[in-house]
């Protein structure tokens, strides 16, 4: 399935979603690698197989194999980290924050692509998954890496749009009886 096919399946109620998606795909403020890695990681994080497949097909046209794998790694590693660190942040017992996570996450230190791209993709996934602790950590690394607040906002806006596409697609699909 293509992104255009998904847009065609969205109901009339999702006109804003379609327009936002089109503007995202036409946006040229990010490099191709940054943009398509971000869209891919975000699409995977929606957990909607059709959305993920459509963005995977599009991203494959724009990303090197290493960047394609790194975007999938960002979605995967953040799925784990977002659950763990959201728990640490939300738990009343702050003792959990003093314990080692004991989670393997070597890909963050060696993602195989530009560090800022990987951090931006991780931030977008963390925004979708609602982990404030991870959002703060990735935003801090990005700012230290020279990434502007405008670029960070764009990344999170793109993630929000991809998430809205997944929700609108589900709302456009008749429920099975």
What's the CA gap between 41 and 57, in Å, rounded?
13
**Is there a catalytic annotation at residue 131?**
yes
In angstroms, rounded to a whole number, what is the distance separating the alpha carbons of residues 6 and 55?
10
User: What is the CB-side half-sphere exposure of residue 146 using CA atoms within 13 A?
Assistant: 2
Report whether 108 contacts 125 (CB < 8 A).
Answer: no
Residue 46: count other Cβ atoms within 10 Å of its Cβ: 22
Neighbours of 101 (CB within 10 A): 13
134 is catalytic: yes
Residue of 10, 44, 131, 159 marked active site = 131
Q: Where are the beta strands (DSSP E) in 21-69?
A: none
Q: Which residue out of 52, 134, 141, 159 is catalytically annotated? A: 134
Question: What residues act catalytically?
Answer: 131, 134
């Amino acid at each position: 399935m293509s992104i255009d096919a998904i847009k065609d399946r969205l109901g009339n109620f999702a006109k804003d979603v379609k327009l936002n998606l089109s503007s995202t795909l036409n946006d040229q403020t990010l490099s191709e690698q940054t943009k398509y890695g971000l869209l891919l990681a975000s699409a995977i994080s929606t957990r909607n197989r059709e959305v993920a497949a459509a963005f995977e097909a599009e991203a494959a046209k724009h990303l090197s194999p290493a960047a394609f794998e790194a975007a999938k790694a960002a979605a995967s590693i953040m799925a784990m980290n977002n659950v763990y660190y959201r728990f640490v942040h939300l738990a009343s017992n702050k003792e959990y924050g003093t314990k080692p996570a004991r989670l393997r996450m070597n890909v963050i230190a060696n993602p195989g692509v530009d560090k800022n791209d990987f951090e931006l993709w991780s931030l977008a996934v963390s925004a979708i998954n609602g982990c404030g602790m991870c959002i703060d950590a990735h935003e801090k690394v990005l700012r230290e890496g020279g990434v502007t607040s405008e670029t960070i906002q764009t990344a999170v806006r793109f993630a929000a749009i991809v998430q809205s596409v997944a929700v609108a697609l589900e709302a456009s699909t008749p429920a099975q009886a």
